Amino acid sequence: MTEHIETITPAEVKAKLKKGEAISLIDVREDEEIAAGKIPEAKHIKMMEIPDRLDEIKKDEEHIIICRSGKRSENVSYFLHDHGYKVKNMVGGMLAYERDSE
């Protein structure tokens, strides 16, 4: 894992959503974490299910990977990047996203 994964901040994600940009958000948290709330536009694919659900992730789009704090999403980002996907990791995860909420 020597290659650097691009990152995006929660504020940048919010700005893209506010502008109505078509972006792909993938939330890799567990069901109970999702139950506490997620970004409405995000698709939920649990981290452990990613390898089995690659067919649901389009290779011709850039995907923003989200988890609680940014660590699991970083791992998923590396995995997807290694499989030829364009990805960015949302730094700080949902903790930062919710903290930055207006």
Burial environment of residue 73 by CB neighbours within 10 A (0 to 12, 13 to 18, 19 or more): buried
Domain boundaries of the chain, sorted by first residue: 6-99
- Catalytically active residues are 67
DSSP for 15-55, written as a single string: HHHHTT---EEEE---HHHHHT---TT-EE--GGGGGGGGG
Closest CA relative to residue 26, chosen from 89, 102, 96, 79: 89
* CATH architecture for residues 6-99: 3-Layer(aba) Sandwich (3.40)
pLDDT digits (tens, 9 = 90+) for 6-60: 999 999 999 999 999 999 999 999 999 999 899 999 999 999 999 999 999 999 9
Angstrom distance (rounded) from CA 26 to CA 74: 12
pLDDT given at position 8:
97
**To 5 degrees, how large is the angle CA 17–CA 19–CA 20?**
65
Angstrom distance (rounded) from CA 47 to CA 72: 7
pLDDT given at position 100:
66
